[in-house]
Amino acid sequence: MDINEKVESVLTEIRPFLQRDGGDISLLSILDGVVTVIFTGFCSTCNKSNMTLTSIEAIVMEKIPEIKKVVEA
């Protein structure tokens, strides 16, 4: 499994929690260990999206050690 597949797999695990609240997340790119994502739906305007991103980053980095950071586009 390549790095994109690994990240997509983790996002697939996280996605239902975001969708339950009317949001979603999509992978935009991975470059030099930095994952760039896009929030959509309610997540794109939520005032707690920074906290959500921090949680997602922790999960992704725990499951995929070669990832250094997760950022929002």
CATH code (residue 17): 3.30.300.130
- CB neighbour list of residue 7: distance below 8 Å, 6 or more residues apart: 27, 30, 35, 60, 64, 67
Task: Specify the number of domains making up the chain.
Answer: 1
Provide the whole-model pTM.
Answer: 0.90
Judge contact between 6 and 64, C-beta under 8 A.
yes
Give the pLDDT mean for 54-58: 96
Per the structure block, which two tokens stand in for 42? Answer: 């309610």
What is residue 71's predicted lDDT score, i.e. its pLDDT? 97
Domain that holds residue 34: 3-72
Name the band, by pLDDT with cuts 50, 70 and 90, for residue 46: confident
pLDDT above 90 coverage of the chain, percent: 78
